[in-house]
Amino acid sequence: GAVVSQHPSRVICKSGTSVKIECRSLDFQATTMFWYRQFPKQSLMLMATSNEGSKATYEQGVEKDKFLINHASLTLSTLTVTSAHPEDSSFYICSAWTADSNQPQHFGDGTRLSIL
Amino acid sequence: AQKVTQAQTEISVVEKEDVTLDCVYETRDTTYYLFWYKQPPSGELVFLIRRNSFDEQNEISGRYSWNFQKSTSSFNFTITASQVVDSAVYFCALTAGSSYKLIFGSGTRLLVRP
């Protein structure tokens, strides 16, 4: 089946640091990828839709200058949290859309980001 | 607007009990898809099922079963003979119309005690 690899799985860094998270589709091409954020004991909230070769579409309330998304190839999307602060600490998870009629979105294993 | 409601925040059962997780959805689209995902403590999302709006047949997969009722806009999930390994957060989700966006419910945390 389709596999999505997300890296790193865990990041701990100081406030003010920029952090890059990668999302790769390993055995299929993904023209569309999604980035979600999940705060502790809460649901997954869609942050943005990433389309290969074009600008990402951000959901209302998500700062595009804060969360930079790049989808330069059909197998890789990156999310960069710029100048991260403690309130950005969260679980970030990506998914890649496929034409699989049974399971159209395949999720990475997530990145747990902790900003000190 | 699309919305998914999981009214049960937490459920605690003893092993071998049956448990039903409720999911109610809202959409104006006639074509939509409903999903259930399991999120164990490790955090990854495990896909359980997808059902389209034109298929109201109930589904059974091992100890899992799903009841889709368009009349009540519900897509409930039942685990029979629950096991400790079933302890997780379960999310119901929806995509509607031509959108690929998944709208998640707030999740139900299931604790199965030995």
User: For position A96, what pLDDT does the model report?
Assistant: 92
CA dist., res. A43 & res. A25, Å (int): 24
DSSP state of B84: G
Instruction: Give yes or no for a contact between B59 and B36, defined as CB atoms under 8 angstroms apart.
Output: no
What pLDDT does A101 receive?
Answer: 61
pLDDT higher than 70, residue A41: yes
Burial of B85: CB neighbours in 10 Å, binned 0-12, 13-18, 19+: exposed
Chain B positions in Cβ-Cβ contact with residue A110 (cut-off 8 Å): 43-45
Average pLDDT of span A48-66 = 92
Of residues B33, B45, B50, nearest to A107 (C-beta): B45
**Are B100 and A97 within 8 A, CB to CB?**
yes
Please give the full DSSP string across B22-82, using - where no structure is assigned.
--EEE-S-SSEEEEEEEE-TT---EEEEEEETT----EEETTEEEEEEGGGTEEEEEESS-
* Rg (chain A; Cα; Å): 13
Q: How far is CA B100 from CA A70, B69, B84, B103, in A?
A: 19, 22, 33, 9
Q: Which residues pair with A67 in a beta bridge?
A: A81
> Sign of the C-alpha dihedral, residues A36, B75, B57, B33?
negative
- pLDDT tens readout for residues B10-45: 999 999 999 999 999 999 999 999 999 999 999 999
Residue of chain B minimizing CA distance to A51: B100
Tokens, residue B102: 């998944």
Please tell me the distance in Å from A105's CA to the nearest CA on chain B: 8
Provide, as residue numbers in chain A, all residues whose Cβ is less than 8 Å from the Cβ of B34: none
Residue A69's pLDDT is: 95
Say how far apart CA A101 and CA A107 lie, in whole Å. 15
pLDDT digits (tens, 9 = 90+) for B51-104: 999 988 889 999 999 999 999 999 999 999 999 999 999 999 999 988 888 999
Answer yes or no: do B50 and A91 touch at CB < 8 A: no
Q: What does the pLDDT read at residue A53?
A: 84
Q: Are A62 and A48 in contact (CB under 8 A)?
A: yes
Check residue B113 and give left, alpha or beta (phi > 0: left; psi -120 to 50: alpha). Answer: beta
Q: What is the mean pLDDT of chain A?
A: 92
Structure tokens at B101: 């966006």
The residues with which A109 forms a beta bridge, in sequence order, are: none
Whether A2 has a pLDDT exceeding 90, the answer reads no
- Per the CB < 8 A criterion, the answer to whether A54 and A73 are in contact is no
Residue A28 contacts B where some CB pair is shorter than 8 Å: no
Q: Are A43 and B47 a contacting pair at CB < 8 A?
A: no
Whether A44 sits inside 8 A of B44 (CB atoms) is no
What CA–CA distance (Å, rounded) separates B16 from A85? 45
Here the tokens at position B11 are 């459920």
More confident residue, A51 or A89: A89
